[in-house]
Each structure stands twice: as C-alpha cells, then as structure tokens.
C-alpha cells in the first residue's frame, strides 16, 4: 500500500489530571455548567486529563470558591493555574500551600522564582530547602547561583554550582551556567575556560552554540564564532537562530549579549530544564517550567516556541497557535512559527486559513522554500494533487542544487503527479528521490508498487518492494505492498502469507483487510475472505471502496486475470 527543539534529561515527571501524560482527547469545554463543587471538580479533572489547562484551572478555581481552604483543591488549582500561565493566582496559592507543606517543591519553586523576578535575591535563596529530588537539586542550584550573580558575587555563584558536581548527568548544565555567569560578571578567563569545556561536551546543543558564538564575537574572535556556527549547521538541521547569527557575524555586526542580565539567566535556567523535560513522560512539568521562564522573561522567543511545541504534543492546537503567534515578528524564529501555525490550523480543520497564511508568508518572502514545501504538504494531505505538485515545483526552484535531504520533495511531488494521472513525471521524481536516497523504503515501496500495478519492470519492481520490507519489516503498509504485488503476479499463496502479516501489523486498516480477503478468495478460503471483507467494511473505508467491498461480500470475485509483463519489461505504449 502507498503511504505517503529537545535533548534528554529525563528526571521526575508530574502528571496533571487522572490520565497519562499524553492523553489526547479533545472537548469543547466552553459553556459547560456545573451544579455543585463536586461537579466543578469533576469537570476540572476531565479538562486536566485532556490537557486543557486553561479550562481546568477555571473549574478548579470555581470549586475552590465553593470550598475554600480544601487542601486537595488548593494544590490542584495551583498546578493548573501554573500550567495555564495564570501566574499571579498560582503565586497566591503557592503561598497558601507552603504554609501547610513547606516541602512542597513546586510551591517553593514558584515562590523562589517570584522573589527572583522581583529582585529579592536573598529572600529567593530560601527555596533550596526543597532540593531533595534531581530536578529540585538542579533548579535550586542553578537559580541560587544566578541570585548571587545578580549581586555580582561570582565566588558564591560558583560555590552554589559546585553542588551539582555530585551528579555527573548534570555536568553540562553546571558548566554552561558557570560560563554564562562568568561572562555576565566580566570574568573572561573563567568564561573562556567554561565555554570551551561546555562546547567540547555539548557542541550540538543549540543554546551552547548560540551562547559560545555570541561570547566569541563580543570578545573579538569573530572568525572562531563563524567556525562553530558553520560546524553546527553542517552537523544538524539549519536552525534559523544560528543562520541569523552566522549571517550577522559575516557582516561584522557586533551582537548584543545573549544573556544580558540576571533575569535573562534565570529564564535560561527554567527554559533549559523545560527543554530537557519535554519528552512524553515529562511533558506536563516541562510546560510548568516553560511558563515560569516566560513569567520571568516574557519576550523570550525560544520559550514561546517551546510552549507551542508542547501544546502540539498534547494536541492542544488552539493553544499552540496562540503561543506561536506570541513570537516577536523581529525574531528569526517567526517564519518557523508561521509554518507551525499553518500546520496547527490545518489540524484544527481550518485548512483554507492555513494556506492563506502561507500564501501571505510566501508573498513577503518569495524565496521561502519551507513555506512552499509546507503548503505542498498540506495540499497533498487534502488530495489537492495539482496544487501540491505546483507548490513542490516552486519549492524546488528555490534550491540551486538538491541534496540528500531534498528526497522528500521529489517523493511527495511524485505522489502528487501519480495521483493526478501524470505518470511519466511521477516516475521521474521517484527515480530522482532514489538517486538522492538510494535505500529509502517509502520510495522503493511506492515506485515498485506502481510498476507492478502497471505491469512494468516486474522483476525489478518486486525486488524493490522486497528490499523495502527488509528495511522496514514492521511497517504494515509496506508489507501489504509486497503481498499485493504477489497477488498481482498471480502468486496467491505467497500473497496470503504477506497480507496476513500486514493485517497483524495494521489490523484497523480497511484496505489491507480487503486485500487479505481477496487473497483468501483466490486460494479457496472463501469464508475467511468474507470475514476479512466484513472487517474492511467496518473499518471506515472511503465511499468508493465501501461500494466495492459490499459488491465482493455479495458476489465474491470474478475469475482472476493473470498479469502479463509488458514486452521487454517496459511500459506499454499509450500513444
């Protein structure tokens, strides 16, 4: 069958609501009424479960109004206000929690960050008493160090960071913030040493590369900065922040410090932890740390982008759009944010609005390859094949010399051409994609499958699909392709073997079940064939497919017509 920002420090996770961290149900909770505190509580629990922290916070606030002082409601409301970015209300509740439970880590963290944000440096240093977990130790040590940095006390800051030496997995955090503090306080020798060590240990980290390159430029070593920017872009994807830094460096533009004051350093701590925690098991606590970072530093594009990404991960696309729209238009990240907005709007069913936004971006930036590519992907997903092919063609025109990473453009344009009955163009694009990525299973599968359907290059086509299965043996769609290829070739026993395996991998897919039913019929297993067709009928096939399935259930299959290879294994002459 054909088918078309974050590094890991996994520490403690805090699940909000009664479900798992990645519950993805959605529900429009606007206007939902309740008749009692328990009703508001239950509504709040459900909203939390589906990661609608805004509505969950409101429901728990209502429940708390009806039952003030209830410790369970106070804690729930605090966590949800914090997740929703209701920071003033969360800070008030944190104070209430801390009175009855001084060891509540997040409440103490909230109060500590509040003091830091307000410049009460010594008062803020009370929160390390809660540092009894790895994440608590990390946040307490780093924030304490920055509270001393705010007072110009480098030695005390260094001493606070020294505590992290007990945990080797936190070494990069310690070195990085030691370098940032040394830079802020004018300790050039210490900054040189610690930036170099951090870069050696974590040279693929975006923030490390940004900070070190920024420091090198400001300390008169622009050539070295350009070198590390280029190295990063060679090893990883082309991040717009590094691209912008490199372009500015080549023009000799002296940058402003990446971390210009203690508050920026504090926000960097919170953002860094949020980034490290934004995996599937820790995503709720990541959102809390990111909200704290934005509370300290509202004009913080990387944290705004991370917030949008977190909301995308839990399928809260409206929230994601709002987060991405908060990215300043002057930021190099804004075009990326606009691409994310388009994808999120499409996921919300607002496809025309998504494409209109991309059109506006393309009009402002005619050479924006990513915008054209994204538009093509959205159009292809909605089977607007001719429009998608045009978008991909325009995207390719922006590439002087396509490289390996551009195989997807040719592959996707090939699909658009094939589906719009432009086979010669499609075939050329699939071959070009394989030239760029010779062993790409998706392309091997699509081209091989298409050739078999057309009676072309049968031996080569079958070998390609077999290779795709070898490379991706647990992909039900590709295994289905091989089974269906054998079916087309009249080897129904071999087809049955692979189609049974494909159904085991993708039991919910209507087409794969229909294919297996066809194979069963051909080998004489007619009761099993009807069972598979019935299962295909109940698996939400499209209307045309449903009509064909119902006919098979009623009449079975006509006698087979053995596929004949075209002369010399070439496509039949269609002129």
Shared domain for 505 and 468, answered yes or no, is: yes
Query: Does 119 have pLDDT greater than 60?
Result: yes
Q: Are residues 463 and 571 in the same domain?
A: yes
pLDDT for 521 equals 97
368 and 482 within one domain: no
Residue 240 pLDDT more than 70? yes
Please check whether residues 432 and 480 belong to one and the same domain.
no
Q: Is 313 helix (H, G, I), strand (E, B) or coil?
A: helix
Residue 105 pLDDT > 50: yes
Residue 559 lies in a domain: yes
Total number of domains in the chain: 2
Q: What is the mean pLDDT of the chain?
A: 86
- Give me the residue label for tokens 């344009």: 413
Residue 26 lies in a domain: no
pLDDT category, 15, cuts 50, 70, 90?
Answer: very low
Statement: residue 91 has pLDDT above 50 = yes
| 454/362 same-domain check | no
Residues 413 and 466 in one domain: no
> 562 or 249, which is more confident?
249
Q: How confident is the model at residue 453 (pLDDT cuts 50, 70, 90)?
A: confident
Exposure class string for 192-209: b at 16+ Cβ within 10 A, else e: bebbebbbeebeebbbbb
Q: Select from 438, 460, 488 the last residue of a domain.
A: 438
- 485 within domain boundaries: yes
Q: Tell whether 427 and 463 lie within a shared domain.
A: no
N-terminal to C-terminal alpha carbon distance within the chain: 28
**Separation CA 382–CA 393 (nearest Å):** 18
Is 152 domain-assigned?
A: no
Proportion of the chain in helix, strand, coil states, percent, rounded to 5: 70, 0, 30
Q: Are residues 394 and 423 in the same domain?
A: yes
Is residue 232 over pLDDT 50? yes
Both 386 and 469 in one domain: the answer is no
Final residue of a structural domain among 438, 456, 485: 438
- Would residue 35 count as lying in a domain? no
For residue range 354-366, list pLDDT tens digits in order. Answer: 999 999 999 999 9
Name which of 24-38, 428-442, 522-536 the model is least confident about: 24-38
More confident: 572 or 517: 517
pLDDT tens, residue by residue, 174-198: 999 999 999 999 999 999 999 999 9
Q: Within a domain: residue 19?
A: no
410 with 451, same domain?
no
Kindly state whether residues 524 and 450 are assigned to the same domain: yes
Encode pLDDT of 29-84 as tens digits. 444 444 445 554 455 454 555 555 564 556 556 555 555 666 777 888 888 889 88
Please indicate, yes or no, if residue 570 is contained in any of the structural domains. yes
Find the range with the poorest average confidence among 63-77, 275-289, 379-393: 63-77
Q: Do residues 425 and 452 both lie within one domain? A: no
> Which pLDDT score is estimated for 20?
34
Among the candidates 438, 464, 490, a domain finishes at 438
Residue of 33 and 115 predicted with greater confidence: 115
Q: Which pTM does this prediction carry?
A: 0.81
Which structural domain range is residue 504 located in? 442-575
Q: Are 356 and 375 in contact (CB under 8 A)?
A: no
Give how far Cα 307 sits from Cα of 107, 121, 311, 313, Å. 21, 27, 6, 10
Q: Is residue 214 part of a domain?
A: no
Average pLDDT score over residue span 292-315: 96
**Any idea what the CATH number is for the domain that residue 558 is in?**
1.25.40.10
- Position 168 pLDDT exceeds 90: no
């Amino acid at each position: 069958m054909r088918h078309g920002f974050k590094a890991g420090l996994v520490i403690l996770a805090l699940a909000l609501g009664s479900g798992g961290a990645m519950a993805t149900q959605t529900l429009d909770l606007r206007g939902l009424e309740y008749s009692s505190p328990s009703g508001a509580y239950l509504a709040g629990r459900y909203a939390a479960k589906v990661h609608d922290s805004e509505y969950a916070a409101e429901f728990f606030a209502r429940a708390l109004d009806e039952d003030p002082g209830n410790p369970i409601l106070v804690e729930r409301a605090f966590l949800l206000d914090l997740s929703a970015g209701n920071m003033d209300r969360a800070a008030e509740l944190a104070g209430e929690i801390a009175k009855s439970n001084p060891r509540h880590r997040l409440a103490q963290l909230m109060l500590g960050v509040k003091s830091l944000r307000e410049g009460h440096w010594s008062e803020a240093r009370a929160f390390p008493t809660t540092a009894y977990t790895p994440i608590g130790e990390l946040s307490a040590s780093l924030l304490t160090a920055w509270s001393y940095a705010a007072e110009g006390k480098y030695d005390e800051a260094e001493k606070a960071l020294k505590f992290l030496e007990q945990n080797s997995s936190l070494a990069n955090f310690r070195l990085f913030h030691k370098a940032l503090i040394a830079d802020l306080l004018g300790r050039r020798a210490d900054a040189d040493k610690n930036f170099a060590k951090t870069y050696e240990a974590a040279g693929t980290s975006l923030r490390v590369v940004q900070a070190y390159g920024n420091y090198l430029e400001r300390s008169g070593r622009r050539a070295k900065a350009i070198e590390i920017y280029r190295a990063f872009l060679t090893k990883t994807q082309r991040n717009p922040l590094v691209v912008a830094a490199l372009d500015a460096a080549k023009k000799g533009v002296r940058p402003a410090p990446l971390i210009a004051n203690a508050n920026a350093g504090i926000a960097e701590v919170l953002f860094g932890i949020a980034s490290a925690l934004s995996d599937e098991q820790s995503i709720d606590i990541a959102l809390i740390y990111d909200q704290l970072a934005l509370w300290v530093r509202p004009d913080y594009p990387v944290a705004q982008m991370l917030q949008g990404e977190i909301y995308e991960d839990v399928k809260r696309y409206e929230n994601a759009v709002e987060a991405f729209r908060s990215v300043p238009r002057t930021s190099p990240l804004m075009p990326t944010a606009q691409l994310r907005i388009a994808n999120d709007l499409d996921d919300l069913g607002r496809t025309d609005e998504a494409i209109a936004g991309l059109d506006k971006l393309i009009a402002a930036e005619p050479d924006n390859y990513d915008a054209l590519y994204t538009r093509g992907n959205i159009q292809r997903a909605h089977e607007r094949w001719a429009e998608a092919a045009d978008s991909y063609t325009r995207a390719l025109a922006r590439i002087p010399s396509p490289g390996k990473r551009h195989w997807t453009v040719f592959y996707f344009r090939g699909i658009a051409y094939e589906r719009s009955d432009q086979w010669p163009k499609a075939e050329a694009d699939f071959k070009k994609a394989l030239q760029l990525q010779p062993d790409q299973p998706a392309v091997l599968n699509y081209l091989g499958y298409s050739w078999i359907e057309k009676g072309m290059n049968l031996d080569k086509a079958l070998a390609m699909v077999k290779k795709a299965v070898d490379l991706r043996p647990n992909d039900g769609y590709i295994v289905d392709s091989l089974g269906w290829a054998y079916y087309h070739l009249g080897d129904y026993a071999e087809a049955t073997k692979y189609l049974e395996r494909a159904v085991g991998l993708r039991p919910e897919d209507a087409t794969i079940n229909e294919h297996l039913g066809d194979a069963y019929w051909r080998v004489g297993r007619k009761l099993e064939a009807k069972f598979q067709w019935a299962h295909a009928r109940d698996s939400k096939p499209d209307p045309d497919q449903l009509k064909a399935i119902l006919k098979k259930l009623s009449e079975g299959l006509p006698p087979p017509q053995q596929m004949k290879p075209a002369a010399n294994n070439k496509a039949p002459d269609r002129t």
